[in-house]
Structure 1
Amino acid sequence: METREAAERFVRVWRRAWAGHDVDALLELYAEDCVHRSMPFRAPHRGRGELGAYLRWSFAAERVTDVRFSAPVVGADGVAVAEFRVLSEEDGAPATLAGCVFVRFDAAGLAVESRDYWHTVEGHLEPEGSLFFG
């Protein structure tokens, strides 16, 4: 699968599945032996099992009201990046999560490595100066 096709599928499924907390749909995007880094200084989640546990934990206290992903920017060697924003309520309080995901895909179009950089703030806010959302 071409990287652009894999990346577009990745953001399309993440947009829908994050909104519905559909962990199974998300895990289908990843290779069995994937490595996902959810924060720069956290230990990586290795394999679908660890990634699934992390996602279920992440979604537990969250009620999503809006999920947006930019169109992916595709680079060389099966790598793509996309920006995301999620408006939610966490423990009843409005919150905004904004960040980027970097993904490397294998020839089958599965994510073999991914890394997120993100930040949350209280309230529903629109970050200024986005490269991808304008």
Structure 2
Amino acid sequence: MDTRTAAQHFADTWQQAWTHHDIDALAGLYADHAVHTSMPFRPPHHGKAAILDYIRWSFDGETPITVSFHTPLVDADRAAIEFRVHALDGDQPTVLAGCVFARFDPDGLAVETRDYWHTQPEPHDHTT
């Protein structure tokens, strides 16, 4: 699979799966030996099972309202994809904005991903 197709599939699947906390859909995006790093100073998650455990933990207590992933920027076997999530974290409306960097294998599976993201309380003006 070409990288542009793999990256768009990754973005589309994440957008839908995050909205519904669909771990099974996300499992199909990663190679068994994939490595994911969330934020620069956290230890990486090695292997699909560890990545899915991290995602489950991340979703705990969160209720997504809207999730959007932008069109991937692709070069060779890598892509950068910005995302924005409006959610309830407990009872607090929150905005999470970030970017995922992914490297794909020839089958279109992510073999290496890393995220950079920030959260803030949801502004009262919803035009942001």
For the aligned pair, the TM-score class normalised by the smaller chain equals: over 0.9
Aligned length: 126
CA distance in 1, matches of 2:9, 2:127: 25
- In structure 2, what is the equivalent of residue 131 of structure 1? none
Deviation sequence 1:71-101 (CA, Å, 0-9, x none): 001012x000110000000011100000000
- In structure 2, what is the equivalent of residue 39 of structure 1? 39
Structure 1 runs (4+) deviating above 3 angstroms are 124-127
CA distance in 2, matches of 1:103, 1:52: 16
Deviation at residue 126 of structure 1 after TM alignment: 6.2
- In structure 1, what is the equivalent of residue 84 of structure 2? 85
CA distance in 1, matches of 2:90, 2:18: 17
Query: After superposition, where does 1:1-134 map in structure 2 within 5 Å?
Result: 1-76=1-76, 78-124=77-123
Deviation sequence 1:24-57 (CA, Å, 0-9, x none): 1111100000000011100001111111110111
SS in 2 for 1:63: strand
SS in 2 for 1:50: helix
SS in 2 for 1:120: strand
Instruction: Give the gaps of 5 or more residues in structure 1.
Output: 128-134
- Alignment TM-score, normalising by the size of structure 2: 0.95
Deviation sequence 1:12-35 (CA, Å, 0-9, x none): 000000000001111110000000
SS in 2 for 1:11: helix
CA distance in 1, matches of 2:15, 2:21: 10
SS in 2 for 1:114: strand
Identity score, percent: 51
Alpha carbon RMSD of aligned pairs, Å? 1.1
SS in 2 for 1:119: strand
- What amino acid maps onto 1:50 in structure 2? A
